[in-house]
Amino acid sequence: MLKSRIWCLIAIALFGIVSLNGQSQQILDNCLFDQMYNRGGLDSINQIIITNKFDSQENNWTENLRPIKVIPVVFHVIHQGGRENISLEQIDSQIKVLNEDFGKKKGSNGDGKGVDTRVRFCRAKIDPSGNCTDGIVRVNSKLSSHKSHERAKLKDLSFWNNKNYLNFYIVGSINGNVGGYASFPGAPDDADGIVVRHNLVGTRGTSSTKGRTATHELGHWLGLYHTFNNGCGTDTCTDGDYVCDTPPVALPNRNCVIGANSCNNDLPDVPDQIENYMDYTSDNCQNSFTEGQSDRIHSTLDNIRTNIWKTSNLISTGCDSNYVAPRFCNVIADFVSLNRTICLGSKTQFHDKSLNTVISWQWRFEGGTPSTSTLQNPEILYSNPGGYEVSLTVADSNGKDSITFNNYINVVPKESGNKLPFFEGFEIETQSLNQLRIDNLDSGITWEIDSTVGRKSRFSIKIDNLINTNYGSADELVLPPVDFSSIHIDSSLYLQFDWAYAKSDPTFSDQLLVLMSTDCGLNYIPIFNRSQSALATGMTQTTPFVPDSSEWKNINIDLSPFRTENRVLLKFVNVTDGGNNLYLDNIYVGDGTMPTFPTSIKNIDISKQVIAYPNPTSTKLNINLIGNQSIHEIRITNIMGGIVYEKSFLKKKNNINLSVDKLPIGSYFIQLKTNVGHVYNKKIVISR
């Protein structure tokens, strides 16, 4: 029940840090956490995280009566062999800072006017399989240059059960000069954790700060808002950050100006709490959580993050105070490939993520070239179809460990994509998405057919970013594979589409990318990337954007350099920033000679467009296409998506007679592509 209430109510607290004249003071860019609250996205969360109204004159709460709750942490260091592969000492300096800040340790930088929250952090000593570990997973990957639309890939690379561990990712950079972000309580399990740039971690090594980036982000992970949420608001307890003893703040404080007082509606009227970790002031003056914030943190731990601090979990993760670490930890073999299904003749990258201090690697790749390797992160070519085993043996001076995954790599023939032209106008509401695929990576708000746009056409497709609070999540609209080489060699080759978008606030924007792959999805390159004013087609508005016919833009993207590719993957990716509705329509791939498509088909009955009879059938099948269009291509697939019949026609053809007596009994799907690019789908049943 809890998950159903909070599944889509996830806040990603993002903030960027920019060095000022090379000194330790920072200017923190806007954090998206407060923007989400201003649109009411966390009201249901607040019904779960019960906030206590604190009054220092009436409340006799004593912090030492509350038991300390310890959070086990696993650090995933995602690097490319550079300075971002930070040391154990730098990681431990971050743990030290967190415990000073959340514990108000006397004599430390965290010993301010606030309270001991009674929360502590521990670098995990036991991994999910019960093995001894230093609590650090190091993975060499280009994902160290972290992009918001690749957030899910970071978790695919390395992730430990978030019911038992706080997943702390350390990366080289984050696009947009962001310093870090965190999932709010209630995020999908596989999206839970925090991400921080390496130079903002701890106080040693590559760090240029005092380590308060993680303190701020873990405040969000534990359920805290910014102190300036909703500005001055009206009620200091039921408004703003939902904490009574943090004075209201009109705007983020970026300078440590003692006595700053941006709101006067609190009684008594007190200055802004510039020293609070949940404001935007620099590390130099942040030093406090309040008693009210501590209450909210513990309400989160008692109501949502309920297992991670329990004694049984501390014992199983090695964070129990009675745990005695062995003299050394044995090496533990582990690896991952982000591309396990690849096309024939492709290479795939293997990432070693073995635990502890490995000094040698011995790989074996069934069906691969080379078949063995001693590299830490080899790239392997597969030239024959099939499922192949991969094994890895790692060693140090004390011993070795091996791991084997059967059928780990699946190699499939590189079949040609669909012949061009391709067109999707979303005009047949119930049929359009049969030729497109939606990848809803966070199981939240995603693409949907819409019929409210003010255009001649009836339907388009949209995503509602106004209510999509899972900031940074990527929702993909994937085209079927297409064959660029099916266009005449002397013809042009273009991707065309229409879009409409408006922002809900001048300061932030959603992002639309179009990504293309010519190597069966191993690598994607951006061929379209817009946000902010470059994406907007309508005026900024806080109400849901519904474009009229004048609020659309069209683009022609020249794809001629790739015209020899016979299997190309294209996908449209929306990266939400809590902006507004984004619409797409009239997606076309071809030679630039756009076919004449009907502008409205309100009177078309899809059930009468394609007739297949007899249905069910045992031996013969007749297929008729009704109307002025002709059949350009037919494909029949089984319920698993496997192609059992496929044929193209050069001459106009409106009916087909097939013999199906050799097909096994069961359900099948017929897909007809017409001469003008329409796609019709029909289900048939073979029975005997």
245 in any annotated domain: no
Asked if residue 240 is part of any domain, the answer here is no
Query: Are 526 and 575 within one domain?
Result: yes
Q: Within 13 Å, how many C-alpha atoms sit on residue 527's CB side?
A: 24
Statement: residue 594 has pLDDT above 90: no
Region 261-268 average pLDDT: 88
Give yes or no: residues 387 and 403 share one domain.
yes
CA separation for the pair 336, 390 (Å, rounded) = 10
C-alpha to C-alpha distances, 297 to 185, 300, 622, nearest whole angstrom: 10, 5, 66
- The helix (H) or strand (E) run that includes residue 90 is helix 88-103
Q: Which helix (H) or strand (E) holds 218?
A: helix 212-221
- Point out the domain boundary residue: 540, 566, 590: 590
pLDDT of 600 reads 36
Distances (CA, A) of 439 to 136, 150, 279, 423, 475: 31, 13, 36, 20, 6
C-beta separation of 104 from 116 below 8 A: yes
Can you spell out the DSSP letters for 283-352?
TTT--B--HHHHHHHHHHHHHTS-STTSHHHHHHHT-STT----SSPPPB--EE-S--EEETTEEEE-EE
Mean of the pLDDT values across residues 281-296? Answer: 94
Q: Which residue has the higher pLDDT, 657 or 57?
A: 657
Predicted confidence at residue 629, as pLDDT, reads 77
Look at residue 283 and tell me if it is in a domain.
no
Active site residue 217: yes
Report how far apart the first and last C-alpha atoms of the chain are (Å, whole number): 46
Q: Please give the C-alpha separations between residue 656 and each of 139, 331, 375, 648, in angstroms, as whole numbers.
A: 54, 63, 55, 12
Residues 579 and 629 in one domain: no
Q: Which of 556, 590, 624 is the last residue of a domain?
A: 590
The pLDDT score that the predictor gives to residue 667 is 74
Residue 46: its pLDDT value, please? 60
Report d(CA 552, CA 453) in Å as an integer: 10
Catalytic residue among 217, 427, 476, 551: 217
Task: Give the pLDDT band (50/70/90) at residue 464.
Answer: very high
Q: Is residue 238 one of the residues assigned to a domain?
A: no
Amino acid at 79: H
Tell me, yes or no, whether 522 and 617 share the same domain.
no
> What tokens were used for 501?
């978008």
**What is the distance, to the nearest Å, from the Cα of residue 234 to the centroid of all Cα atoms in its chain?**
35
C-alpha 419 chain-centroid distance = 32
Residue 547 has, within 13 A of its CA and on its CB side, a CA count of: 28
Residue 432: pLDDT band with limits 50, 70, 90: low
Going by pLDDT thresholds of 50, 70 and 90, the confidence category of residue 443 is: confident
* Residue percentage of the chain with pLDDT more than 90: 54
Q: Give the CATH number for residue 81.
A: 3.40.390.10
pLDDT of residue 23: 27
Domain boundary among 268, 284, 317: 317
Same domain for 31 and 164, yes or no, is yes
Same domain for 362 and 491? no
Q: Is the peptide bond between 614 and the residue preceding it cis, with omega within 30 degrees of 0? A: yes
Q: Among the ranges 133-147, 600-614, 629-643, 662-676, which has the highest mean pLDDT value? A: 133-147
Q: Exposed, middle or buried: residue 7 (CB in 10 Å: 0-12, 13-18, 19+)? A: middle
Higher pLDDT: 99 or 594? It is: 99
| pLDDT above 80: residue 266 | yes
Query: Domain check: are 37 and 120 in the same one?
Result: yes
Check whether residue 530 and residue 389 sit in a common domain. no
Structure-block tokens of residue 620: 């013969």
Does residue 680 register a pLDDT over 50?
A: yes
Q: Is 244 within the bounds of a domain?
A: no
Q: Residue 89 belongs to what H/E stretch? A: helix 88-103
Residues 487 and 379 in one domain: no
Number of domains observed in the structure of the chain: 4
**What percent of the chain clears pLDDT 70, i.e. is strictly above it?**
85
- Banded pLDDT at 312 (limits 50, 70, 90): very high
Q: Is there a contact between 399 and 358 (Cβ–Cβ < 8 Å)? A: no
Measured CA to CA in angstroms, residue 263 lies from 196, 291, 325, 569 at distances of 32, 21, 51, 53
What average pLDDT score do residues 335-360 get?
Answer: 95
- Determine contact, residues 290/117, Cβ cutoff 8 Å: no
CATH number of the domain residue 354 falls in: 2.60.40.10
Question: Has residue 490 got a pLDDT over 50?
Answer: yes
Query: Residues 51-78: pLDDT tens digits?
Result: 444 333 333 344 457 899 999 999 999 9
Q: What is the mean pLDDT of residues 654-658?
A: 85
Mean pLDDT calculated for residue range 94-103: 97
- For residue 359, tell me if it sits in a domain: yes
8 A C-beta contact, residue 641 and residue 681: no
The residue written with tokens 């490995």 in the block is 358
Cα 536 from chain centre: 23
Average pLDDT, integer, range 543-563: 92
CA pair distance 636, 638, nearest whole angstrom:
7
Work out the average pLDDT over 188-193: 81
Residue 62's pLDDT is what? Answer: 43
More confident residue, 107 or 505: 107
pLDDT at position 25 over 50:
no
Query: What is the CATH classification number for the domain harbouring 615?
Result: 2.60.40.1930
H helices present in 407-473, as ranges: none
Residues 172-188: what's their mean pLDDT? 85
Distance in angstroms (rounded) separating the CA atoms of residues 121 and 215: 11
Q: Report, in angstroms and rounded to the nearest whole number, the Rg of the chain calculated over CA atoms.
A: 28
Task: Determine the Cα–Cα distance for residues 179 and 196; give it in Å rounded to an integer.
Answer: 6
User: 104-111 — which CB contacts under 8 Å span 24+ positions?
Assistant: 104/288, 104/289, 109/210, 109/287, 110/287, 111/287
Please say whether the dihedral angle defined by the alpha carbons of residues 216, 219, 220 and 224, taken in this order, is positive or negative: negative
Q: List the beta strands (DSSP E) in 384-493.
A: 386-396, 399-412, 418-419, 422-424, 437-440, 448-450, 460-464, 474-478, 482-483
Whole-angstrom Cα distance, residue 681 to residue 333?
47
Coil/strand/helix, residue 405: strand
What was the pLDDT predicted at 672?
A: 80
pLDDT recorded at residue 48: 60
pLDDT in tens, 213-257: 999 999 999 999 989 888 888 888 888 888 999 999 988 888 888
| Residue 668 exposed, middle or buried by CB count within 10 Å (0-12, 13-18, 19+) | buried
Beta-carbon contacts of residue 489 (< 8 Å; ≥ 6 apart): 563
User: In the predicted model, what is the mean pLDDT of residues 376-381?
Assistant: 98
Question: What is the pLDDT, as a whole number, of residue 186?
Answer: 79
- Average pLDDT, stretch 446-467? 81
Closest by Cα among 257, 234, 237 to 246? 237
Segment among 72-86, 601-615, 635-649 with least mean pLDDT: 601-615
Residues 470-484: tens digit of each pLDDT: 777 889 999 999 999
Which pLDDT score, from 0 to 100, does residue 110 have? 92
Mean pLDDT estimate for the chain: 84
Q: What is the pLDDT of residues 356-365, one digit of tens each?
A: 999 999 999 9
- Could you tell me if residue 567 is inside a domain? yes
Find the mean pLDDT for residues 666-682.
74
Q: What is the mean pLDDT of residues 118-143?
A: 97
Q: Are residues 372 and 504 in the same domain?
A: no
Q: Is the entire prediction scored with pTM above 0.85? A: no
Give yes or no for residue 407 having a pLDDT over 90: yes
- When pLDDT is averaged across residues 72-95 and rounded to a whole number, the result is 97
Q: Name the range with the highest mean pLDDT among 132-146, 472-486, 508-522, 591-605.
A: 132-146
Same domain, 39 and 91: yes
Which contiguous run of DSSP H or E holds residue 138? Answer: strand 136-140
In a domain, 268, yes or no: no
* pLDDT tier for residue 439 given thresholds of 50, 70 and 90: confident
Which amino acid, residue 648?
A: S
User: Could you write out the DSSP letters of every residue in 317-330?
Assistant: HT-STT----SSPP
Confidence at 454, pLDDT banded by 50, 70, 90? low
Q: Does residue 17 share a domain with residue 163?
A: yes
- 181/184 Cα distance (integer angstroms): 10
Lowest mean pLDDT among 8-17, 53-62, 136-145, 422-431: 8-17
Q: How far is CA 267 from CA 21, 137, 289, 303, 315, in A?
A: 39, 49, 20, 31, 46
CATH of the domain at 478: 2.60.120.200
The domain in which residue 656 lies consists of 606-686
Phi, psi of 656 (to 5 degrees): -135, 140
Higher pLDDT, 38 or 626: 626
> Pick from 183, 211, 208, 219: which is nearest to 95 by CA?
211
Q: What is the pLDDT of residue 28?
A: 40
